[in-house]
A and B are shown apart, each in its own frame.
Chain A
Amino acid sequence: MYEKNGEKYFVVDSHMHFWDAGPDNWVPGAEQYAKGWIECFHAYQSLAPKETHWTIEKFMKYSEDDLMKDVFEDGYVDVAVFQPTYLKEWYKEGFNTTEKNAALGEKHPGMFVHNTRFDPRDSDAGLEELKANVDRYGSRGVKLYTAEWNNGSRGYKLSEPASYRYLEKAQELGIKNIHVHKGPTIWPLDKDAFDVSDVDHAATDFPELNFIVEHVGLPRIEDFCFMATQEPNVYAGLSVVIGGLMHARPQFFAKVMGELLFWVGEDKMTFGSDYGIWEPKWQIEGFVDWEFPDQPEFADYPRLGVDGKKKILGLNAAKLYDLKVPDELQLKEDTPAAQDDSKLVSS
């Protein structure tokens, strides 16, 4: 819970990780990819305020204590959603598996949501693994990396028949939320790596599922927004938007937020810190303080008030995951939505 100016915010970090990218976890022969991947992530951290930067050594392998302190103790987060990233082609025990997450999460009941993953290229064995993970960890969401390498394949599309088979199975098992990551490469390599049209198809054909496009399809935010306006079950995952732009590129951050508020709307945007890339503390503090720059080019965008920030920081994700929100942290039902706007205009 975060409190500022008498307002209390229920915080759900809907996109975070607990990874091991240390050299002893690199697959022999794939060291350059394992190293390249984590260095790439580390470069993203450089977009955060300097005092929150980590050394590459800590970044490769942070501890349980680091996570609990950064996310919950210092970071205001009430519930964190683990998003696994396997990358077993490069990391022996996986980069960030359901099991590794759960081993930590089970020590702290109620603080974590354990999402799992699937890969439609894993055929029947993958379906069984999905079922086992849902049974064992109670997963209600999955994280999908459509660009992940697998046995010579450099990626898949969510609109393929194999993907539909998995989505049908996931739905049958009680999965509600499909978090989709786009990039960094996809097979065939000549296709645009971040194309989101496959999500469009799946979202239409699986109206009971929610599709949270993480990183809002950046760098294809325009394609994402265009799709999201047409699909009621598509959400904007703000990981990378806040972490990567709010501090480093505040003008662009304001524009991206403006576009998202215009095309997608505050009811369908969810905060995710992307920890350990970025610590949640500065993101939450900065986001609650944030407002549009007082310049004409931002005047047309929909305003974001306290209620909107409460939704984005936690209440929207709480709905997606049926999380219990204390009454005092709910929106005040009788507050007209427009009040925040008028406050902003008059101040």
Chain B
Amino acid sequence: MTTMVAERDRVLDALGAVRDPELDEPITTLGFVSTCVVSAAGDVVVRLRLPTYFCAPNFAFLMVADAYDVVSALPAVRSVDVALEDHFAAAQINAGVALRAGFVASFDGEATAELDELRRTFVAKAVLAGTDQVCRPLVASGIDPAGVARLTIADVPPSPELDRLVRRRAELGLPVGPDAPLLVDVGTGAAIAGAAAARHLGLARLTRTGIEANTGICRGMLKHRYAESGAGEEEQG
């Protein structure tokens, strides 16, 4: 029994690496994992749920596919059954993910491109939001925007927010070395300097506000839709 609990924790841990691409938060802490069951033989069943029946299918597909991938990659897992519930496109998404078919094949005729570009767009937003998290305390401490733009990553005191920002920048292929500028263009990686810094920080704050407001609405809607907490929600939230 203890082993099975440990196994379940291991699966939930892995699912914690799957993020809602828009909200940039783990699907576990968001409460999107409704069921996570692991049998003694290593058969894993995961059920996912979303705040509404009409949540965007592209993001839903990414989360289901990512969940499938992280669980499949675990050692000692014999079978993986990951499915989305209560969603208008659940049948297509689940069938596509189970067949590892990709998004275009899963939505025959309704999609023309895979979702890498979309994912990239949202990691770029996460970089901007993370920039605000890291830079706001610096500005509050009296450094003006142009001064912030002169800093490198190594100049900033270590923090979980900085770690997260560096990870997101690495995902986009942006510079992350200690000498890398703290403010970079999320498209090109070029340093932001001088007068452009204030505007960049303004966009960073705006982007973070948008993501946080969106997360707030999603959480409220999910709570209305489902009375029970999600698997891994209390443990990590």
Contacts and interface: CB of A to CB of B under 8 A. Distances in A.
Main secondary structure of the interface of A (DSSP, over half): helix
Contacts of B55: 184
Contact of A252 (B107, B111, B213): B213
Contacts of B140: 296
Given A36-B53, A46-B224, A190 B115 contact: yes
Interface string B106-150: 010011111100100100010010000000100010000000000
A247 to B, nearest CB: 10
B209 A255 contact: yes
A222 to B, nearest CB: 4
Given A185-B54, A255-B209, 18 more contacts: A32-B88, A36-B52, A36-B88, A39-B53, A40-B52, A154-B110, A188-B111, A188-B112, A189-B58, A189-B111, A190-B115, A191-B58, A219-B210, A219-B213, A221-B206, A222-B210, A226-B206, A249-B220
A190 B206 contact: no
A104 to B, nearest CB: 27
Contacts of A263: 206
Interface in A242-259: 244-245, 248-249, 252-253, 255-256, 258-259
B161 interface: no
Nearest to B221: A43
Interface residues of B, number: 43
Contact of B217 (A39, A47, A189, A225): A47
A220 interface: yes
Interface in B162-219: 202-203, 205-207, 209-214, 216-217
Contact of B52 (A184, A189, A245, A262): A184
B107 A248 contact: no
Interface of B: 22, 51-58, 88, 103-104, 107, 110-115, 118, 121, 125, 128, 136, 140, 202-203, 205-207, 209-214, 216-217, 220-221, 223-225
Main secondary structure of the interface of B (DSSP, over half): helix
Interface in A183-201: 183-185, 187-194
A23 B33 CA distance: 31
Contacts of A190: 58, 103-104, 107, 111-115, 118
A218 interface: yes
A24 interface: no
B88 A33 contact: yes
Nearest to A224: B210
Contact of A255 (B52, B54, B57, B213): B213
Contact of B53 (A40, A44, A189, A262): A40
A189 B221 contact: no
Interface in A309-342: none
A189 B212 contact: no
A37 interface: yes
Size bracket of the A interface: 35 or more
A1 to B, nearest CB: 30
Contact of B214 (A44, A192, A218): A218
Interface string A149-163: 000001000000000
A149 B37 CA distance: 37
Contact of B220 (A219, A222, A248): A248
A99 B53 CA distance: 28
26 contacts: A43-B51, A46-B220, A185-B54, A185-B56, A188-B112, A189-B103, A190-B112, A190-B113, A190-B114, A190-B118, A192-B118, A194-B56, A219-B214, A219-B217, A221-B209, A222-B207, A225-B206, A226-B206, A248-B216, A248-B220, A249-B213, A252-B212, A252-B216, A255-B213, A296-B140, A297-B136
Contacts of A188: 110-113
A277 B74 CA distance: 44
B107 A218 contact: no
Nearest to A254: B209
Contacts of B107: 189-190
B58 A193 contact: yes
Nearest to B205: A259
A226 B203 contact: yes
B137 to A, nearest CB: 11
A184 B221 contact: no
